[in-house]
Structures are given as C-alpha cells and as structure tokens.
Chains A and B, each alone.
Chain A
Amino acid sequence: MTKTIRILLLSLAAMSLVACGSSSSDDSGDAAWSYTSGNGDVIKLDHRPKRIIASAAEAAGLMQYGIKPVAIYLAQDLDLEPGLEGVDLDGIEIIGQEWGKIDAEKAAQLKPDLIVGDWWPPQKAYQGFEEGADKASLKVAELAPVIGANQEGSLEDVVQWYEGFAKSLGVDVDDAKYAAGKKRYAEAKAAFQQAVKAKPGLTALAVAPGADLLYVAVPKYSTSLTDFKDWGLDVIDPDSPKADFPYWEYLSWEKADKYQPDLLLIDDRGYDSTIDVAEKQPTWDKIKAAQARAYTPWPGYWVHTYDAYANQLEQLTRAVEKADPGIA
C-alpha cells in the first residue's frame, strides 16, 4: 500500500517537474525554438515543432523521450528495421518502406514542421534524401527544415544529440524513467572497456557478408565502431574503401581472407540469414575467426537510444570475454 502511494507520489512529482520544465522556459510552448543539426546548421523555428516526420531508427531516438512523430519513413520493410523493434508505432503513419521512396503527397498532407533524419557526411545528405533517391521523395525535404545527428564520429554523441533534442523541446531528460537506460548504458560501457582491457591484442573486423561480395565496414564512418575503437577495441581499418561509398570496402569472396581478425562483428540486420549466406561461401572458413565461429552481431548503423546501445554493448562484452586474441 505504502509502496503504491510512493510510486504515485513519485510520478506526480515527475509530472510536475515536466510541467515546470516547460513553463519555466516559456509561457505558451509556442516560443521560438532552435537546435543545432549534425552538420552544424542551426535550425530555427518560430515555435516548437509539434508535427515531426522522422526517419525510422531516428524515430526511436525521439520516442524514447515520448516525442511522437506524426509519420515515419523507412529504408526497408518495417519488419527488417532493428531500430524500431518493440517500439509502439500506434497512431504513427508510415509513409515509406523503401529507400529513396517517401510518399511525398502523404508527407505534404501531414504539414510537418520538422523532419528528423541523421546527417551522413560522406554523402553530404540527410537520411532519406541522399543522391539517387526518387525526385518526388527528395521534395519531401522541402516541406520543412531537416535536422539530424551527425553519423560520423561517436555513437554516444548521436544518442546524446537526441537527448539534447528532447531537452530543447522541454522534456525533462533527467527524469527517473529516462535515467534508467542511461545508467545501464554507462555500466555497459564500463564493462565493455574492462573486458577489452582484459584481452590485450584482440583484433576485430566488422563485416556484412553478402551473396556476391563481402562488405568490410570502415570504422571512421561507423559511429559504433568509432566508439569501440575509442574504448580500446582494435577494430581493423580496411585499406581500400569504395571511393564513392566509403562506409565499406567491397571485397570479392575470393579475397575473403584478406583481413584476419580474432573476432568478427557481423552486421545484425538480418543476422541469421546473413550467416547462412556467409557459410555458403567456400572462403568464409578461410577467415580464421569464422572457422572458430568467433563472431557476434554488431549493430549496423541503427542504434539511437541508451537502451539499445546498452543491449548491444552487453552482447558485445560477452563476445569479447569469450574471444581468443590468438586466433589470427
């Protein structure tokens, strides 16, 4: 009984805090708003954005703070989007499930006042509005300012960008209900650093095995790999990234043994099916780590929340603890 009352009181306090937060910064919630985008642009609106259209995984970054977009667009089918796994999309319109194909008409009808999609420096474009997207799809970017986190640099920064974004909209990000994920993340990060420290000399390689080629991730253009490197894991840098798409080195399966890590990090978008494809290749086993089955899922460019990052780090930490630095 007392426990219930305490919870009630706590949540009431939290609510009043939220109320305070928003009322202290302005009176009506209609004051001018601005926030700095991942490419350095400062986006300014004459009122706080209420009608947000967001790219898929980015939407998860917003929704962890209760910011609900009116619509989302995906680069692939909803079932295949790990960033939205377990996210309640009730009441959110889906206006695209294929890369480069956002339903411009629907988007226009929704009268968005802000579009959220991450900034990809190599392509100098926001998620969904890269070169090669449909013309109509590109028009969506003209409906409202586009803003997003910088996808070059640290993934922790990306997650923090969304935290800051929520804060700018008056969300009390330090509230207990948000703090749990952040705390778990901090612990997971510490545990990961510890595990890496305990395995000196351990090397890792991040790959996405495809049916025709083996794609080797370039750490510089993967925010998660950038963090892992910063935290002590030796992630191998491939030497010949594709010139016009520098996220990956495209490697023919004949040369699959070019890099020999102790641990393989495998892009987790469609993980099981990817492993099937990889194991079909005669040269997969010529990567010693593959032969030793030393591989683990790696979040391919979709993490936007402390919770998701904590989960991924915990999983990776277990793999590092099991890994054998002497394989390669």
Chain B
Amino acid sequence: MTTDLLHQAAPATRHRNGAALGVGLLVLVVVLGVVCVLSITLGTRGIGLGAIVDAFRDRDDSVDATVIREMRVPRTLIGLCAGAALGLAGALLQGLTRNPLADPGIMGVNTGASAFIVSGIALFGTQSMTVYIWFAFAGAAVATVLVYGVASFGREGATPVKLALAGAAVSAGFYAITTGVVVSNIEALNQMRFWQVGALSGRYWDELVRSAPFIVVGIVITLLLGRALNGLALGDDMAVALGQRVGRTRTVVVVTVTLLAGAATAACGPIVFIGLVVPHVARALCGPDYRWILPYTLVLSPIVLLVADVIGRLALQPGELQVGVVLGIVGAPAFIALVRNRSLAKL
C-alpha cells in the first residue's frame, strides 16, 4: 500500500510540476515578446508609435523609419540571438564542469573570441564577419580548453574557485592581446569598443544574418542535450552506468559552447553576466532538470540582455551606454553573491 502510494505520488508530482513549468515558460515567452516591443519602441531617438507602425507599413525613407527598420529591429534580433546564445553557453558550461561559476564570460571564452577576432582583423585586414566569425570560434575553443585544462590541474580537479581564477588569468591575457592589437591597428581601433566591451549598438542586419545561423544551430543542439547534462550532473561513474557516452557528450558540449559563445561575441563583442547568472535563475525556478533549465535559460537570457540594452540606451542621452557596461555593473555583485553562496558551491 505504502509503496504503491509512493510509486503513484512520484510521477504525479512530476507531472504537475511539468505543467506548472510549462505555463511558467509560456509566461516568460510573453514577457520576452513585451521586451522585444519595448526594445523596438525605446531608444535615444524618440519615435512615436504611429511612426513606428508606419515604418513597417510603407517603405518610406524617413529617418524614423530607417532607424526602426535598419537599426532597432536588427538590434533587437541580435539581442535575442546573442542573449540566448550566451545564456545557453553558460548553462552548458555549468553542466559540463558541474561548477556554479562556469560561464563564457568568467572563463574567458568571450574575451578569447574577441582577441582572435581583432588579431584576424589586424592580420588579414578583413572587416567581414563572414571571415572573422571563424576566428571567434577558434578563440572561444582555445579559451575553453585552456581554462578548463589549467583549472583541472591538481587533485581536487576543477573547483569553482580554481576555474574562476584560471578564467580571470586567461581573460586578462586575452584582453591584453585585444588591447595590444587594437592600439596598433586602425581598422581594429575603429571597432575597438566592441572587442573590449560588448554592445548592441552599431550592429545591423549584416551582423545578424552572419551570426544567427550558427546560433540557431547551437540552440537546437543545446536543447537536445538536456538528458545528457542530467547524466553528467550525477557524476561520470553514474552517467556511464546509465549508459551515457560521457566523452562524446563532453566533446559535443564543448563544440556547442564554442559555437554559441563565438557567434555571440562576433555579433556583439564580449558580454559577461548573462551566461553566469541566468542559468542559476533558471535553476532556482525549475529545479535541477536540464530539460527545463535549458528552455528557461533560452527565454530568460534575451529578456535580461534586451532590458539591460534598453537601460543603456536611455541612461546616457544623447549618447548610449554599451550593454556590456550595464551588465558589468550588475554582474559584479551577482558574481560575489554566487561565490559566497555555499548552497551553490557544488552542482
């Protein structure tokens, strides 16, 4: 009798949980929709709703219409893609390393991508993203492997603190490379801010079209990895016992992180915070199951990025504050809170 009850109760809880989580996800999708509308309507240039509707209805060539169609819309879409990519890359890294501080920002993956991009621009004189996105992938891959490798030295393996330290060191190194290249190369100098602090301004359809395909592929792969990440969360031995090919999973995860973080950095420069914090928020909302964490992260991340971007647009009129700076300001206390929170010390 008791055992029966137990057997029945477990799936029932999960089911209800699942339904609630599904509704929660739908609510977040609606919120994301609202945020997208705000991102199109709010900016340094005050544009009335009527003019915004006109911009979509007829193909007039007014300044307002140009700003909406060629600046705010692609900017919002890049925010969507890059936000999702950075958040998911963070969730993947946290799942892979079982480390709460794993994040493409902290681990220097984004700065690695940036450093390779500016080096590519300097070496080959290309400003075309079709070319330099590949440098971004290479940089992201090098940084991921380097930081995880360095942090894994020693008996305890890659502990959160070691990972953060190795990440900080590698980030600093890559940042120095970026700065070094930037000050000696005028092509890079003119784009400097992007490769030092991420921004969504000055990025248009071109950047979107050239980065979105990689990000979409990365998102699809990530959403299929939920079960595998749940396995990794139990520890390698357990995962193997459950019939998972751990080595293959790790490889796929690293490649996907590279794809997501590299493409996001190529689109809008190095951005921290999203990949670190959003997966934790998602985990707090829906528990340890990566099959829920990943979609929640997917929807929450662009919400955070776009809200931060809108704040940056309105903060420094008639100029703008880069979204990377806005997130950096919010990110530092969040990082400290995470380091100090013992319950997060192990994933």
Q: Which residues of A contact B (CB under 8 A)?
A: 76-77, 79-80, 97-99, 210-213, 240, 242, 249-255, 257-258, 269-270, 273-274, 276-277, 280-283, 286
Contacts and interface: CB of A to CB of B under 8 A. Distances in A.
B313 A252 contact: yes
Contacts of B189: 76, 80, 270, 273
B45 A210 contact: no
Contacts, number: 95
B130 interface: no
A276 B71 contact: no
Interface stretch (B179-187, B224-232, B236-244, B250-258): B179-187
A251 B319 contact: yes
B247 interface: no
A251 B43 CA distance: 12
B148 interface: no
Contacts of B199: 212
Contact of B316 (A250, A270, A280): A250
8 contacts: A211-B193, A212-B202, A212-B322, A250-B320, A251-B318, A253-B202, A255-B318, A269-B186
Contacts of A250: 316, 318-320
B319 A213 contact: yes
Contacts of B322: 212
Contact of A252 (B70, B191, B201): B201
A282 B201 contact: no
Contacts of A282: 66-67, 70-71, 204
B171 to A, nearest CB: 19
B190 A211 contact: yes
A254 B44 contact: yes
A250 B322 CA distance: 12
A242 B313 CA distance: 15
Interface string B88-123: 000000000000000000000000000000000000
Contacts of A213: 201-202, 319-320
A254 B190 contact: no
Listed from nearest, the 9 A-B pairs whose CB atoms lie closest are A250-B319, A270-B186, A282-B70, A77-B184, A252-B44, A254-B45, A212-B202, A211-B202, A252-B320
B318 A249 contact: yes
Contact of B191 (A77, A99, A211, A283): A211
A77 B183 contact: yes
B174 interface: no
Nearest to B183: A98
B126 interface: no
A290 to B, nearest CB: 13
A210 B183 CA distance: 15
A283 B68 CA distance: 11
